[in-house]
């Protein structure tokens, strides 16, 4: 469906051209003074310079030439040269009717379908998922869903970290603790046990200890680095042990992403890029892109215009070991080969921005990707505690993701139980959905690049700009619909009237909010900005609740009017449903 704002712009632009001015001055925006008008056009101000005329004179001419257009309920020129516009209610009701008849609620599919890979997992095997893993998962899932909804082919990749120093640390730590295990017997020829020599909880204990040790014990660190090298070069025992680490850990990681309602199309790991490394390295050497510097193989990515330090990309260490750079570059080779993507989006901590700048430059310079391929880095900020420092547990440790989810659910559960009568099981079930919504909405409602403060009390509140408030509004609509159905009949989706009757202020506000949906979605997609969806549904929820308080929907005597209202709130509910689906949030039936 053509966006309402474009329809209005087109008509205003006709006014400009009719009066001899350039069409582009007709651009209309949503009013930033909703107390004065719904939409506005500021084009006369800029046109004034080009045509050397007073802005108000231009505005007056333009308004005169289009004021009889039935699109407008009111259009006027105001000093110093603004054009203030209200559209007529018939336009709004007709527009909503068309939305209601469309499964996509007026949002067109893209005409330029792209294949997009979103790299947004980044959890590391053998390390417990902590709060730092929540942001990429939550933001990335939503970015992926936005693009899918717009009609693109989107592949979400977990890209688990399974190939670096942590693996070496675990191996040497185990070797010290349990030297008798066959993985460490260099002469062992038989089959290694199918069962892992550790459980997930043991594994999660091992890594932090080994990591701590490596910080103070130089020899231990060196041994771990050697182990990584051996592993990368096919040491049989280490390889088998590493398989166990992955199997045990990935099962647990999957469960946690599942709990977050985050689903990947692809469960690739850094190590999956390995087969692509030798050819890539050879190619970079043959084409003269890579050279040896201090024993290591590197590709320079510095440009003359750089003002900040821009270290080269490290392809191989002097001992031939591969690095984080190597796997990311080889992963690009792999993705091009498997999916031929038009765009790759990385949702990663913004502290890795420079790193990705180097990776992108290197892949362009060495032509790993075609020039048309977009490489985007969507860096997210840190989730802080109320003290403004990265969020920690009460005793200062890093909080595990399951604990965080558990705490939020508990908080919501208490709130539900405090003012409603509900069975334990039902309340727990609702708390799980609402809790996750609180957590995700608390995150997604902030611009991704910004740091934000995690505040359980605020996030779980049923009032204000929160997930629970949005869900509560949806539940409210559902309950009105159920009451209506009980007293009358099956609600009709598109019983909109011709818009010539009386429309109250809050009713018009609600309609204006609803008709903005397709425009908002396109902006959210163009700017990779889930927070725009949150802002929109918050405004929509406010409009709905004001409307609800000012009108007695169920008691309304004019049945035709009542039917229109019922259609209106159903449309609003469908918009909410679509939006929260895109944010990967679920709504309960009651709250
Ligand atoms: N595992 C990495 C880390 O913990 C994040 C991975 C981000 N994605 C990527 N393609 N490098 O820092």
Q: Does residue 366 lie in a domain region? A: no
64 plus 166 within the same structural domain: no
- Dist. CA 63 → ligand 1 center (Å): 56
Residue 113 lies in a domain: no
Domain boundary among 87, 112, 146: 87
For residues 264 and 121, the answer to whether their CB atoms sit within 8 Å is: yes
Is residue 153, in this structure, part of any structural domain at all? no
- For 103, other C-beta atoms within 10 Å of its C-beta total 7
The answer to whether position 272 is within a domain reads no
Do 63 and 171 lie in one domain? The reply is: no
pLDDT at 189: 93
Is 178 within a domain? yes
Q: Where are the alpha helices (DSSP H) in 104-199?
A: 134-149, 165-177
451 and 551 part of one domain: yes
Ligand 1 pocket residue status of 328, Cβ below 6 Å: yes
Helices H / strands E in the chain, number of each: 20, 13
> First and final CA of the chain: distance in angstroms?
35
Note the residue count of the chain: 591
Q: Is residue 507 part of a domain?
A: yes
In a domain, 310, yes or no: no
Domain of 557, CATH number, reads: 1.10.730.10
pLDDT tens figures, 200-257: 999 989 999 999 999 999 999 999 999 999 998 889 999 999 999 999 999 999 999 9
Q: Crossing angle of helices 277-286/324-339, nearest 10°?
A: 100
Phi, psi of 313 (to 5 degrees): -80, 135
Residue with the smallest CA separation from ligand 1 atom 2 is 122
Percentage of residues of the chain with pLDDT beyond 70:
100
Distance 277 CA to ligand 1 centre (A): 18
Decide: 382 in ligand 1 pocket, CB within 6 A: no
360 pocket-lining for ligand 1 (C-beta < 6 Å): no
Nearest CA owner, ligand 1 atom 12: 122
159 CB within 6 A, ligand 1: yes
157 Cβ below 6 A of ligand 1 = no
Q: Is the CB of 164 under 6 A from ligand 1?
A: no
For residue 182, what pLDDT is reported?
96
Q: What is the pTM of this model?
A: 0.95
Ligand 1 lined by 119 (C-beta under 6 Å): yes
Note the pLDDT of residue 419.
Answer: 77
Ligand 1 proximity of 588 Cβ (cutoff 6 Å)? no
pLDDT digits (tens, 9 = 90+) for 554-588: 999 999 999 999 999 999 999 999 999 999 999 99
Domain of residue 55: give its range. Answer: 4-87
Q: How many domains does one find in the chain? A: 3
Give 122 Cα–ligand 1 centroid separation in angstroms: 4
**182 shares its domain with 79:** no
CB of 574 shorter than 6 A to ligand 1: no
Task: Say if residue 63 is in the same domain as residue 179.
Answer: no
pLDDT over 80 (residue 509): yes
What's the gap in Å between 257 CA and the centre of ligand 1? 16
Q: Which two tokens stand for residue 129?
A: 């998922």
**Where residue 421 falls among pLDDT bands split at 50, 70, 90?**
confident
Q: Which of 223, 241, 263 is the last residue of a domain?
A: 263
Question: What CATH number corresponds to the domain at position 25?
Answer: 3.30.1360.70
Among the candidates 263, 289, 318, a domain finishes at: 263
Closest ligand 1 atom number to CA of residue 348: 7
């Amino acid at each position: 469906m053509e966006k309402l704002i474009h329809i209005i712009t087109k008509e205003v632009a006709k006014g400009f051209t009719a009066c001899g001015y350039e069409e582009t001055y007709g651009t209309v925006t949503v009013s930033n003074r909703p107390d004065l008008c719904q939409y506005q056009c500021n084009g006369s101000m800029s046109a004034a310079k080009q045509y050397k005329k007073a802005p108000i004179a231009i505005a007056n001419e333009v308004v005169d030439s289009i004021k009889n257009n039935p699109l407008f309920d009111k259009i006027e020129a105001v000093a110093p040269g603004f054009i203030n516009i209200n559209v007529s209610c018939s336009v709004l009701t007709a527009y909503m009717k068309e939305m209601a008849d469309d499964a996509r609620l007026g949002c067109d599919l893209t005409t330029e379908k792209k294949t997009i890979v979103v790299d947004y997992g980044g959890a590391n095997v053998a390390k417990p998922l902590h709060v730092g893993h929540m942001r990429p998962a939550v933001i990335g899932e939503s970015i992926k869903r936005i693009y899918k909804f717009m009609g693109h082919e989107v592949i979400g990749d977990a890209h688990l970290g399974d190939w670096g120093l942590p693996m070496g640390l675990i191996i040497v730590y185990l070797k010290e603790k349990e030297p008798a295990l066959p993985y460490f017997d260099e002469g062992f020829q038989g089959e290694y046990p199918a069962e892992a020599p550790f459980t997930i909880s043991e594994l999660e204990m091992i890594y932090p200890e080994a990591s701590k040790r490596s910080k103070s014990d130089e020899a231990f660190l060196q041994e771990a680095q050697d182990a990584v090298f051996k592993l990368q070069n096919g040491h049989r025992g280490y390889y088998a042990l590493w398989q166990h680490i992955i199997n045990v850990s990935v099962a647990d990681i999957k469960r946690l992403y599942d709990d977050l309602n985050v689903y990947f199309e692809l469960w690739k790991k850094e190590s999956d890029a390995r087969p692509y490394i030798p050819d890539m390295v050879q190619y970079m050497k043959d084409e003269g892109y890579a050279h040896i510097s201090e024993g290591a193989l590197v590709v320079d990515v510095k440009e003359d215009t750089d003002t900040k330090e821009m270290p080269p990309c490290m392809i191989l260490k002097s001992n031939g070991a591969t690095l984080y750079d190597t796997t990311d570059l080889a992963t690009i080779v792999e993705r091009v080969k498997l999916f031929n993507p038009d765009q790759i989006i990385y949702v990663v901590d913004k502290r890795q921005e420079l790193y990705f700048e180097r990776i992108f430059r290197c892949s362009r310079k060495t032509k790993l990707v075609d020039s048309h391929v977009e490489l985007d880095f969507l860096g997210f900020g840190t989730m802080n505690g109320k003290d403004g420092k990265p969020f920690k547990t009460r005793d200062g440790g890093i909080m595990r993701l399951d604990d965080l989810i558990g705490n939020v659910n508990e908080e919501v559960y208490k709130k539900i139980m405090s003012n409603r009568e509900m069975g334990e099981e039902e309340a727990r079930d609702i708390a799980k959905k609402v809790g996750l919504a609180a957590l995700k909405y608390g995150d997604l409602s902030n611009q991704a690049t910004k740091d934000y403060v995690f505040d359980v009390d605020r996030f779980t509140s049923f009032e204000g700009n929160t997930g629970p408030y949005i869900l509560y509004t949806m539940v409210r609509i559902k309950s009105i619909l159920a009451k209506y159905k009980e007293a009358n009949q099956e609600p009709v989706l598109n019983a909109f009237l011709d818009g010539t009757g009386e429309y109250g202020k809050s009713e018009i506000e609600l309609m204006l909010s609803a008709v903005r949906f397709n425009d908002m979605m396109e902006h959210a997609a163009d700017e990779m900005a889930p927070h725009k969806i949150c802002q929109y549904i918050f405004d929509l929820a406010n409009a709905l609740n004001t409307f609800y308080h000012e009108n007695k929907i169920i008691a309304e005597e004019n049945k035709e009017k009542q039917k229109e209202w019922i259609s209106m709130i159903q449309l609003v509910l469908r918009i909410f449903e679509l939006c929260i689906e895109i944010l990967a949030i679920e709504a309960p039936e009651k709250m």
